[in-house]
Amino acid sequence: MTHPGELLKKNGLYAGKELGQNFLSNPATAQMIVDRTGVDKETTVLEIGPGLGAITLPLARACKRVVAVEKDRRMIPLLEGELADEGICNVTIINGNILKTDIREIAGTEKIVVIGNLPYNISSQILFQLVTIRQVVTRAFLMFQKELAQRLLSSPGTKDYSRLSAVVQYASKISRVADIRPNNFFPRPEVDSTVLRFDFFETKGMGEKDEILLFSVIKAAFSKRRKTLHNAMSGGELGLTKKIVGIALENAGIDSSRRAETLSVQEFIDLSKEVQKVITNES
């Protein structure tokens, strides 16, 4: 691969801060990440934000097909040139916003693996998107700022445990793949990065409507972190009265004075089921 600094300079381009562009510049690091994904010639991969192809090149050599979604149209001719120079022809490049891309359509009848170095400003939105379409995604390998990765890995009762932690842990098993130092990127970021693995799974007894309510309950519970669950969940987007919240918490066996960050994923599931029961009985 051509060093991203050299490639950008040659073409009169620059890394866009507004797009959170920090291009992986160390080929050995890129190869290590691909090796740890375990993709093979039977695997179709969706790559989010291929940039200048640091991961795309070794990925394409290892798997059956890569569909690369790149928002920055300036990068596409450069990426196409890098692929052509290496004789790689199993990569399809889509110029688009991943948040507006139909991933189910890309997958078709297959189940795919998702890989990406995610911009910090949309990392959470992408994760929520993957959770909702995980029926077609077996696993994902995503790079985040280390701080966000720590939040995703955090356990209930810790200060880093958040709405995002609960939602993603509900839908996947998360594990750390590698920590990546700033000197592996161009331009060099100010923070360390971490690659996480997400093994997605379905939760028995939870349909689409059940999940929508669950995610709304989690959102409401974390909307006022300093307040107790009873107060945080009353009113707001869910429109629940204090009475309904109190009954649901009691029926779920959850002390109403607890706060959202102390609840396990299973407790959130139990609470959402009780909320549904109380709403049904009240209507």
Alpha carbon separation from 255 to 153, 181, 250, 252, 271 (Å, rounded): 25, 43, 7, 9, 11
Higher confidence at residue 20 or residue 84?
A: 84
Matching residue, tokens 């549904």: 276
Listed in sequence order, the residues at least 6 apart from 203 whose beta carbon sits closer than 8 Å to its beta carbon are 170, 171, 211, 269
The pLDDT-based confidence of 283 (bands split at 50, 70, 90) is: low
Reduced to 3 states, what is the DSSP secondary structure of residue 145?
strand
Token pair for 228: 């107790």
CA dist., res. 240 & res. 211, Å (int):
18
CA dist., res. 146 & res. 192, Å (int):
6
pLDDT at 140 over 70: yes
158-171 residue pLDDT tens: 999 999 999 999 99
Q: pLDDT > 70: what percent of the chain?
A: 100
pLDDT at 274 over 80: yes
How much is the CA Rg of the chain, to the nearest whole Å?
Answer: 21
Looking at residue 251, its pLDDT comes to 97
Matching residue, tokens 């945080």: 232
CA dist., res. 112 & res. 158, Å (int):
33
pTM of the model: 0.94
Looking at residue 225, its pLDDT comes to 82
pLDDT at 16 over 80: no
pLDDT at 182 over 70: yes
The pLDDT-based confidence of 77 (bands split at 50, 70, 90) is: very high
33-66 residue pLDDT tens: 999 999 999 999 999 999 999 999 999 999 999 9
241-268 residue pLDDT tens: 999 999 999 999 999 999 999 999 999 9
Q: What are phi and psi of 224, to 5 degrees?
A: -135, 80
Strands 65-70 and 91-95: parallel
Looking at residue 1, its pLDDT comes to 82
Token pair for 74: 């300036």
Helix locations, the chain, DSSP H? 4-10, 27-37, 56-62, 76-85, 103-107, 123-132, 146-153, 163-171, 208-222, 229-233, 242-251, 265-282
pLDDT at 82 over 70: yes
Matching residue, tokens 């090796």: 35
